[in-house]
Structure 1
Amino acid sequence: MRNPTLLQCFHWYYPEGGKLWPELAERADGFNDIGINMVWLPPAYKGASGGYSVGYDSYDLFDLGEFDQKGSIPTKYGDKAQLLAAIDALKRNDIAVLLDVVVNHKMGADEKEAIRVQRVNADDRTQIDEEIIECEGWTRYTFPARAGQYSQFIWDFKCFSGIDHIENPDEDGIFKIVNDYTGEGWNDQVDDELGNFDYLMGENIDFRNHAVTEEIKYWARWVMEQTQCDGFRLDAVKHIPAWFYKEWIEHVQEVAPKPLFIVA
């Protein structure tokens, strides 16, 4: 497609109630008339706030509005069948579809774990206290309602490098998790704002864990097969190491049935 015109077809305050996917399906035949030939969908998977989630509090990438998780089966925008119907209607009208990729962090963990952390200076993330604190953190994701369908991967504290709340002792802040992958500090090849802007929010995904990067690649292939999307919009790229997205983009372009449009 030459010189596509891309529409962000949602905004932060779009009303909940599963209205967006049906609305897109209904309006799909009118986009070409106003010069739109590509749309950017909001995150289509379950967020930590369930049916109220805009989608950037990513909980389960494999729940496209199919499982009773976080108080809702549908996402804020509708259920999986409605999502696929909207994509089908758009593509029948020659409208390319981009999915939003939120893989910087996860939120809404299912279980606590005993973890070790170090306090971090919020204004200069390179300043990490030497003291190691024994505590508990919400870092284990088991997705009990999905029960292993599509993926059996369990996320635990070894999948994350940072967290913003600990318990026993109870404390808010920025904490670097101590595990097999975080000994050198934060990920490199990220924005240098605040010294190192690897950490943004929630449970910060650590791409130095090979099992994590392979799971995110596997998810990309799965979601392309499920939705037949035409590309991706990448969220929070300045917080994610550049080497990972280079590797990930090469992977998705290789396994996709056609060249993908990817923007950040």
Structure 2
Amino acid sequence: MNFLKSLFLRQDPVPLSYMKLGPELSKENPLMIQFFTWDSKATGTSWWKHFENEIPMLAEMGFTQVWLPPPNKAAEKEGRGYDAYDLWDLGEFNQKDTVSTRWGSKEELLSACRAAKEHKIDIIIDAVLNHKLGADRTERFQAIPVNPQDRLKELDKAREIEGWTVFDFPGRGNKYSAMRWNQEHFTGLDWDNATRTKGVFKIVGKGHKGWAKNVDRELGNYDFLLGIDVDHRHPEVQKDFFSWGPWVLETTGAVGFRLDAIKHIDREFTRRFLENTRKSTNRRMFSVAEFWSGNLDAVLPYTRAFKGETAFFDVPLHMNFHDASKHYSRYDLRNVMNNSLVKVKPGYAVTFVDNHETVEGQSLESWVGDHFKIQAYALILLRGAGYPCVFYGDLYPNRECYNEHIARNLKLLIKARQLFAYGATQDYLSTKNCVGFVRTGDSTHSGCAVMLSNREDDYLHVIRMNVGKAHAGSTFRSFLTTDGRVEIDADGWGEFTCFAGSAQVWVKI
């Protein structure tokens, strides 16, 4: 009876409490950066070399983890890797008219990974396990066209189609993996080469079980996303992926994964993939999953299903930021953290403001406007809950989304996180258009006071906040601007200010 009771009461481990986020025994705040945009290209060098050159500065700024773009060979020479052709080719073999990937050669990748390790920066591998593209040959098989808006509705009877589903990997041969992919290893595809018809086709016939059941229910069944959809129930598929996971971590020295498009992958497979790789490598292996939904109620069941094996990007919080930027002063800042993963399950939440797919014109466009960008970053970088990820496009010059003013203030917020943002978080939800919070500090960090506004005029906000009696009689200065002083009274209170439509951080002199 006691055994059954213990099983019933057993809690799953909280991902961010046990996974590796930075150097062992470090008391400094960990911080991740997504080191690419969708169109990233380095001038005069490879992306991997560009990354290696930036590592010393990233370490100095306090970054402890770097999420790199998919290192695998893509279907096209300039493919980003999300068009996954061969996961076992990291820029080593002459396939798809190139040896290097868009990002560089395997040698350059491994050199950058070694440099990162020397600077105590962990590497996160972007794992694209949902689909494949760029097959080497076609074959004929039976398939049923289904309604793209409801994949459970069949539009016709089974018929023979011709699909690009045979992967021979002629450049790599049997090195690392001898598996050859064909239609048996897939559930569906979006192109019938015989009739030159685009659609969604469910592969049927001997050995096929239809769409995976343990996926998101959007569009009836969201197993199929794009390209050629992998059947993760197939034993050969599982064996290959379960071998690839430990191999890619050991080869690169990376500490974990960013899991792409998990709402389309059988969640039982993904959980087993993580369990298997963790057992084979390191129990503190890091993992963060991309489940793209702004609806917290859709995300929470996945956090339970994975039994503590992975953290999740806080898409609901990102969508709150996007809504706030769209509605300007009409948005109530007192609600900005509501219905977010970081508020409900902070130990599961990797917070972010934007990424490569939210940029204007991209598939998940939901850009956080420049007028609210720094306020959003202040919320993820300086509060105590969650694990923040900074977007390369907001920090580094690029053609897609760079704003020099944003980058300047973002660097200051990153510095404030590194130096001051420690201890408990106390909120001061003052008004609809201005909120504040205090980090109380710890034995080696003095803490800070933070304010943010979305008002659209020249107003100067004032919030009375308590920074603790330990700071009685001291003076705080503004960190994002060069002037501004606040005197702290005998009880630890001060009257802090912030200009309309901006953010401000106050730190002890």
TM-score, L = length of structure 2: 0.50
Q: CA 1:18/1:221 → structure 2, altered by over 3 Å: closer, same or farther?
A: farther
Paired amino acid for 2:274: I
Cα displacement (A) at 1:199: 0.2
Instruction: State yes or no: 1:169 paired with 2:195.
Output: yes
Q: Distance in 2 between matches of 1:258 and 1:116?
A: 43
Q: Distance in 1 between matches of 2:194 and 2:218?
A: 31
User: Which residue of structure 2 aligns with residue 117 of structure 1?
Assistant: 143
Q: What are the residue-to-residue correspondences of 1:9-28 with 2, within 5 Å?
A: 9-15=35-41, 19-28=46-55
Kindly indicate whether the alpha-carbon contact (under 8 Å) linking 2:146 and 2:156 is maintained by their aligned counterparts in 1. Answer: no
Cα displacement (A) at 1:214: 1.1
Q: What are the residue-to-residue correspondences of 1:175-214 with 2, within 5 Å?
A: 175-183=201-209, 185-214=210-239
Instruction: State yes or no: 1:77 paired with 2:96.
Output: no
Instruction: State yes or no: 1:108 paired with 2:108.
Output: no
Q: 1:54 aligns with which of 76, 80, 95?
A: 80
Cα displacement (A) at 1:224: 1.7
| CA radius of gyration, larger in | 2
Kindly indicate whether the alpha-carbon contact (under 8 Å) linking 1:44 and 1:55 is maintained by their aligned counterparts in 2. Answer: yes
Kindly indicate whether the alpha-carbon contact (under 8 Å) linking 1:6 and 1:37 is maintained by their aligned counterparts in 2. Answer: yes
Cα displacement (A) at 1:258: 5.2
Paired amino acid for 2:270: Y
SS of match in other structure, 1:173:
strand
Q: Report runs of 4+ in structure 1 exceeding 6 Å deviation.
A: none
The number of residue pairs the alignment matches comes to 262
Q: 2:247 aligns with which of 214, 222, 225?
A: 222
SS of match in other structure, 1:151:
coil
Cα displacement (A) at 1:225: 2.0
Paired amino acid for 2:227: G
Cα displacement (A) at 1:18: 5.8
Identity across the alignment (%) = 39
Paired amino acid for 1:28: I
Kindly indicate whether the alpha-carbon contact (under 8 Å) linking 2:133 and 2:227 is maintained by their aligned counterparts in 1. Answer: yes
Kindly indicate whether the alpha-carbon contact (under 8 Å) linking 1:157 and 1:179 is maintained by their aligned counterparts in 2. Answer: no
Q: Could you list the runs of 5+ residues in structure 2 that have no partner in the other structure?
A: 1-20, 23-28, 290-509
SS of match in other structure, 1:126:
strand
Q: Distance in 2 between matches of 1:8 and 1:197?
A: 26
Q: Distance in 1 between matches of 2:233 and 2:156?
A: 22
Kindly indicate whether the alpha-carbon contact (under 8 Å) linking 1:125 and 1:195 is maintained by their aligned counterparts in 2. Answer: yes
Kindly indicate whether the alpha-carbon contact (under 8 Å) linking 2:233 and 2:269 is maintained by their aligned counterparts in 1. Answer: no
Give per-residue Cα distances to partners, 1:158-210, cap 9 Å, x unaligned.
Answer: 00000100122331100001133434x31011111111110000110001211
Q: Distance in 1 between matches of 2:192 and 2:206?
A: 19
Instruction: State yes or no: 1:240 paired with 2:265.
Output: yes
Q: Distance in 1 between matches of 2:130 and 2:79?
A: 17
Kindly indicate whether the alpha-carbon contact (under 8 Å) linking 1:98 and 1:231 is maintained by their aligned counterparts in 2. Answer: yes
Give per-residue Cα distances to partners, 1:66-104, cap 9 Å, x unaligned.
Answer: 111111110011100000000001110000110000010
Paired amino acid for 2:225: L
Kindly indicate whether the alpha-carbon contact (under 8 Å) linking 1:160 and 1:203 is maintained by their aligned counterparts in 2. Answer: yes
SS of match in other structure, 1:246:
helix
Give per-residue Cα distances to partners, 1:113-152, cap 9 Å, x unaligned.
Answer: 1111100100111102451111211100010011111111
Q: Distance in 1 between matches of 2:245 and 2:205?
A: 26
Q: 1:39 aligns with which of 53, 56, 66?
A: 66
Give per-residue Cα distances to partners, 1:218-264, cap 9 Å, x unaligned.
Answer: 11121122111111100000000111111111001100045211001
SS of match in other structure, 1:143:
coil
The higher relative CO (CA closer than 8 Å, separation ≥ 6) is in 1
Q: CA 1:259/1:204 → structure 2, altered by over 3 Å: closer, same or farther?
A: same
User: Which residue of structure 2 aligns with residue 261 of structure 1?
Assistant: 286
Paired amino acid for 2:239: E
Kindly indicate whether the alpha-carbon contact (under 8 Å) linking 1:181 and 1:208 is maintained by their aligned counterparts in 2. Answer: no
User: Which residue of structure 1 aligns with residue 390 of structure 2?
Assistant: none
User: Which residue of structure 2 aligns with residue 160 of structure 1?
Assistant: 186
Q: Distance in 2 between matches of 1:147 and 1:186?
A: 30
Q: Distance in 2 between matches of 1:175 and 1:211?
A: 22
Paired amino acid for 1:250: E
Kindly indicate whether the alpha-carbon contact (under 8 Å) linking 1:10 and 1:42 is maintained by their aligned counterparts in 2. Answer: yes
